[in-house]
Structure 1
């Protein structure tokens, strides 16, 4: 059984990177955690024990999510749930038992630093990332 212990991060897509960083840092009190090469397009902000990832839609990462976000088109790329420590095999078996397809476990950066995570899709088509201290 999986045990969620918190939200690791959310990913927001934008074509207003400077304004978004200003809003989340200068107005809401987040701090700049990490920036990737502008061509990749990821800016990570610390929000308590979680991260808010801001992805420029004109970058490599942002281009994967479609057109510019509008009032009708979503800007949420995915969210990540932090799990209690569990093995990759146990995670795979859990979702196999529910006939849910998982992506590939990969090393990614999140609120707790680098670690293994995997993507799946919920019934509405939203992307969910699961992250755990893999046993």
Structure 2
């Protein structure tokens, strides 16, 4: 077990969303809405993306066959079809988070302001030691966001 390198500069609040790569949006929506009982969420038609509510979290369905889904990587035969998992965090200091990740040898791939289950928030994208993409997303910067 690796030794701790100091306090983590954020508090996890749970899973915000997970992104599944699909190739048939109608079949995906039918399954998540009609089989699992999810509720419709946000739609991003220009990206070929639909979101459905699963309790307090979102499941994002991203169609890699849609012209706007160029960023979605289809699964290799027998491979994974999850783009990333988003972990919801409490408020955090961006510089402290950057320093914390750097101290652990974790490279930040991207920083952005994105929507999710709690609204718009600052996101940091990086990979775990196994190559899984993680998005750490803070709360909305304004209470009414």
Fold shared by both chains (TM-score > 0.5): yes
Instruction: Report if the CA contact (8 A) 2:120-2:140 is conserved.
Output: no
> Aligned-pair distance for 1:71?
5.9
Moved over 3 A (4+): none
Conserved 8 A contact 1:34-1:43: yes
1:34 aligns with 2:39: no
Structure 1 residues 97 and 86: CA distance shift in structure 2, 3 A: same
Larger radius of gyration: 2
- The equivalences for 1:17-32 within 5 A come to 17-32=25-40
2:47 matches 1:50:
no
Residue 105 (structure 2) aligned to one of 83, 99, 102: 99
Unaligned runs of 5+ in 2: 1-7
Paired residues in the alignment total: 133
Task: State the TM-score, normalized to the length of structure 2.
Answer: 0.83
Equivalence for 2:4: none
Which 10-residue stretch deviates more, 108-117 or 98-107? 98-107
**3-state DSSP of counterpart to 1:106:** strand
Between Structure 1 and Structure 2, the one with more strand by share is: 1
Q: Distance in 2 between matches of 1:119 and 1:14?
A: 21
* Displacement after TM superposition at 1:46 (Å): 0.8
2:19 is paired with a residue whose SS is strand
